[in-house]
Structure formats: structure tokens, C-alpha cells
Structure 1
Amino acid sequence: MRRTVLITGASAGIGAALARTYAAKGWNLILTARREGPLTRLADELTAAHGVTATVIPEDLSDPAAPERLIAAVAARGLTVDGLVNNAGFSRVTGFLDTDLAAHRAMIQVMLTAPVELSRLVLPGMVQRGFGRVLNVASLAGQMPATGGDTLYGPIKSFLIKASQGLHLETLGTGVHVTVLNPGYTLTEFHDVNGSRDQVSRAYPAWMWMDAARVAQIGYDACEANRASVTPGVMNNVMAGLARVLPDGLALKMVANHARRLERL
């Protein structure tokens, strides 16, 4: 029997890479994002390549009603969510004061509220059936000091890390695995969307960047192994470790200096 995984933000980037990884492992897919066209093309690709069933359900998770509507749409199709990948997200780098309230509200809804609600909607069934997988895509930013400009992104990801760790502990022994994936700089469309591609590409050497397919495989393997958290890449783990041991003042100064360097590029 094939399991079925629901992946949010599946139209591009790490979300699409995770869809390819799960399909290669024999999972059927439920793909959701705002853009139907890319989802349909990805579904066709993966069905042809792996013989899996790929269901497309477009949804805008910035709508507070979207999580319940999405799960209702899944149930209406007679599908069961055996795995959930909370991947949808974006960032704002124009500054807290220069970004309007509606955009902040949408960011919190998509990246914080929606993962919590979707997890709460599907986890009871997973526990009852004795099988489930939840993979939350956070970020190295959630393990680092907060940065000015992209003010909410790191704190939201930090919340997701802590919430995932709590769920991991709460579901131990139930057959449900909960893992949080913390990618660093990854080659995807993410930085093109938020307009920072040129700056970050010049700020970081090529060896610091990871391929989305590799990041997805690491996340998948960690979730199957029921690891609470995984951060891909040696350098990313070094940076996260330094952030934990450095005094707050020094860590904040380091991050602030880096942010100023990006602004000068």
C-alpha cells in the first residue's frame, strides 16, 4: 500500500525537491501552493517518472480559512494524509517599518499559524492509525540571532523549531515521526522571489550553498529515522553551534555586521 504525503509550497524550490524525493520513494502526493500551473507540471512529471498518484489542490495559506479548507478538500477526494510536509514560506527584506501590516500578517499566517493548524488537523488520525510523518521546514535562521530588516523570518522559524521538537517528544512511541529541517543557503527560487539573489550570491562563496535535492534527501532521511531536528551541511552546523555558545551581544554584533555587508553589495 502506498502512503500519501501532503506537501505545502510544492510549486518550486525545496518543496518541489521534497515532492521528487517522496515520489522516488514510492509515496503518492498531494501538492498544494498558490500557483496551479507549476503544481500540475510537477504532478505530471512525477506520475510519469515514478508511477505515483499526484493530486493537485491549489490553496493560498495566507487565508486563515485555508488549512481547514485544504484538509476538507483532501477528505472529499477520499485521501488519507500519512505524511505532512509544512514547507510553504517567504520572507520580507524591506524592513519591518517599510512593510505594511497585511504583509506581516500574511507571513505569520503562512509560516507559523498554518503549520500549527495543519499539524493539529492531521496528527490525531496519524496517531490513531499508528503511522505518520510530519516534516517541518524551518531554517538555519531560526537557530541564529535575529536580523534587522528581515525581522520576523528568524523568529518565526525559531518558533517552528521549538514547536516541532515538542511534537516530536509528544508523539514518541505512537508510530508518528516529527522532524524539523533547518536548511542554510540553498539554491532555489526563494532569493529571486524576495529580491536578494544578487546580494546573497556575492556575500557567500559557492561552497556555502547547498543543492535543493540534497537538502530534501537529508530531510526525508532524518524524518524516517525519527530525528527531532536536522541541519544540512557542516558549515551550517558550525554556525548554529557558534550562535548557541557566543554571548548575545557578540552574536548580535556579528549578525549586524553581516547585514550591513549585504546592504553595501
Structure 2
Amino acid sequence: MPSPTTPGYALITGASSGIGAAIAREYARRGKPLVLVARRAERLEALAAELSAQAPCVVIAADLADPATPQRLFEETRARGLFVDTLVNNAGFGTPGRYLSADWKTHADFLQVLMTSVAQLTHLYLPAMEAAGRGRILNVASLAGLVPATAGHTLYGATKLWLIRFSETLNQECRTRGVHVTAVCPGMTYTEFHDVNGMRDKVNKLPKGLWLTSDQVAKLGVDAVEAGKPRIVTGKANNVIAALSKYLPNWLASALIGSRSKDFRDAD
């Protein structure tokens, strides 16, 4: 069992690019040892080489769409004698279009990566954190979980809302045991996410004031979980959008978001 002085690693899923890689860089700047997890081994190795002068890095190539992966990750880190006192659930992807435009295997993989693996990894790593009296769990959610639903990307906002509520509830359960749980809710962020899901041309038309860099999001998220904040929305504009969504009548908020949804959602 780890003691309060046992060196702790930050395990980051989806660490090969975007916000995940930025969070890895942020923790490395703070001297935090890292376990970098993603499907693309060559990208992880390149990131580990970049960061190794700042912090120890362990690379584990794994696909969280495989239901066996969370248990395998846990067993591998335990076999290596690594105490994971920080878990960053960041892995994810988008499924553009209507719900019926994708086959069930795609949706099943999406739910496995964005929900089931998050719940299972948390269930696996949390006991040792509580036993040591210290731990951090940072869940990368989205502004999409706080605004009215729009057509397209059907499961995305729903899973992010679940992740926010999961984080807030878990924080209530764990905060007296030395473990902080935070949902970071970015809006538009400069990553390759929109290139992968084919929405780059559309989202580039959005106002520049809505965008943050992945480095900005990473620092805000890490600062928030260290401070014990259960939720943080990144950026002033996104906080305004979240507040309007909360306090405006639902029909009006839905109408406002819906009128611009084609700029950031593919509903075809």
C-alpha cells in the first residue's frame, strides 16, 4: 500500500495529441512523473522523449475502445510498481452526423471510451488514492454538457453531461479523503479534434474570441483540480454561454444555440 510519501504518477489517457498532450506537458513542467496512454505508440514515444528531461515518463499504447483495456492498464502499472495518484480521463473522439448515420459498433466504441472506461479506471485507481490520503482525478468534459441539445453528434453532449455529474458527485464523496475530482469543460479549443471529425471548415467560421489553446485549457484544468474545484468552464466567453444556458428560459436558450448549431455540429 502506498504511503503519503510514495512518489505518484499522473496517468493521462488520450495523451498523444490535443488537450491530453497539453496536460502531460503541464504536469511535466511541475515535475510530475507521467504514464502516457493512447493508441498511437509513436506519438507517445515522441512526447515522452520531449518531456523526459522534466519528468519520468512511462508509455503504454492501448485502445480504450477495447473493454479489456482498463483492467490491463491497472495491472500493468501495478506490475511496474507505479502508484497512480493522479488520473486524467481525457481520451475521446467525435461521431458527426445524425444518430443513425453511424453503425452501432461506432456508438458502442464511443460509449466505451467516453463513459465506461472512465468509470472503470476511476474505480480501479481510486482505492489506493483514498488509502494514501491523496489523489487527483481530472475528467475532460465539455461546454457541450452544459448547453441545450442540438441536432448532430448525438451522444457527445449526453456523455459530457454524464461526465460532469459523475465528477461532481465523486468529488462530494472523496473530498474528505484527500482526493479532488474535477470536470474541466472546454469550449472551442485549437486541437486536431475538428480535423478528425471533418468539421474544421465549419468551426473556423466561429468568432476567434471563443477559442482557447490546448495549453490554456490544460493549465486551467490542472490548477482547478489542485484547488479542489469540482467544475471549471474555460474562458470568459464560454462562462457567459454556460450562464446564459442556465438562466435563460429553456426554449430561448435552445433557440439561440440551435440557430448557430450548424457552425459546430454536423447534423446530416
CA–CA distance in structure 2, aligned partners of residues 198 and 75 of structure 1: 44
Q: What is the rounded CA distance, in whole Å, between the counterparts of 1:67 and 1:148 in structure 2?
A: 32
CA distance in 2, matches of 1:97, 1:65: 27
Structure 1 pair 174–208 and aligned structure 2 pair: CA distance change class (3 A): same
Aligned partner of 1:230 in structure 2 is 232
TM-score (norm 2): 0.94
* % identity of equivalent residues: 48
What is the aligned counterpart of 1:33 among 20, 26, 38? Answer: 38
SS of residue matched to 1:145: coil
The residue that corresponds to 1:151 in the other structure is 154
TM-score (norm. length: structure 1): 0.95
In the alignment, which of 21, 26, 38 is matched to residue 16 of structure 1?
A: 21
Matches within 5 A, 1:43-62: 43-48=48-53, 50=54, 52-62=55-65
RMSD: 1.3
Corresponding residue of 1:75: 78
Residues 170-228 of structure 1: CA deviation (Å, up to 9, x unaligned): 001211111110001000111111111110011x1112110110110000000100001
Q: Which amino acid aligns with 1:198?
A: D
Q: Does 1:206 align with 2:212?
A: no
Tell me by how many angstroms 1:259 deviates: 2.2
Aligned partner letter, 1:113: T
Alignment of 1:97-116 (within 5 A): 97-116=100-119
Residue 215 in structure 1 maps to residue 217 in structure 2 = yes
Equivalent AA in structure 2 for residue 175 of structure 1? G
Aligned position for 2:191: 188
Consecutive aligned runs of 4 or more in structure 1 exceeding 6 Å deviation: none
Offset at residue 132 of structure 1 (A): 0.5
The corresponding residue for 2:3 is none
Deviation of the 1:2 alpha carbon: 4.1
Q: CA deviation at 1:254?
A: 2.1
User: In the alignment, which residue of structure 2 is the partner of 1:256?
Assistant: 258
Letter in 2 for 1:210: L
Show structure 2 runs of 5+ residues with no match. Answer: 1-5
The amino acid across from 2:34 in the alignment is L
Aligned equivalents of 1:207, 1:238: Cα separation in 2: 12
For 2:51 and 2:262, how far apart are their aligned partners in 1? 42
Deviations 1:48-90 (A, max 9, x none): 3x1x110000110011111111111111111111100000011
SS at match of 1:42: helix
- Quick check: 1:2–1:26 contact (8 Å CA) kept in 2? no
Mean alpha-carbon deviation: is it higher for 65-74 or for 248-257?
248-257
In structure 2, the CA distance between the partners of 1:24 and 1:142, relative to structure 1 (3 Å rule), is same
Number of equivalent positions: 261
Report the alpha carbon displacement of residue 94 of structure 1 after superposing the two structures with TM: 2.1
